[in-house]
Amino acid sequence: MSDDAYSLERSETAMQRLDRHWIELLQEVRVVQTGVQLLTAFLLVLPFQDRFWELSDRSQALYLTAVGLAAGATGCLITPVAMHRLLFRLGVRPTLVNIAQKFALAGIGLLGLAVVAVLTLTFGIVLSTAAGITAGGVALTFFVSAWLVLPLLIKRQIRT
């Protein structure tokens, strides 16, 4: 069922549909923001631990990659709220919803990659490089399957 058909079934106007989309997006972002902010905070305190400097150059590079990905996810997931504040009452809700959707998806993708990097780093330090690569690979496979492939399969099934 298309979104327009769904809106007619709900007796929504185009503006009501946009408002609903905006509210749903903000609710979803709220859920993800907490996790990404906790992950980022955790990562930012690690260099202040004494043993951090014992990490190999490769582990430090992976750590910095994880920090960059988590910071990027944080930025993407906060962008819709910042944009809304700056564009409030300017009548640009359609543009705002479309752009916020893209930033939310980018933020979720960056969050998944940050978690993969953190798992790779953690398992690599605690167990072995092979265990780290395996843990990262399993996480990446799960995120791609659950967050991308499954929704696309459902979308395809609905459209046929």
Tens-place pLDDT, residues 17-47: 988 998 999 999 999 988 999 999 999 999 9
Tell me the average pLDDT across 78-86: 92
Which one-letter DSSP state was computed for residue 146? I
Rounded CA separation 113/111 (Å):
5
**CA atoms 82, 84, 90, 92: torsion sign:** positive
Which residue in 137, 127, 129 sits closest to 59, CA to CA? 129
Q: What is the pTM of this model?
A: 0.86
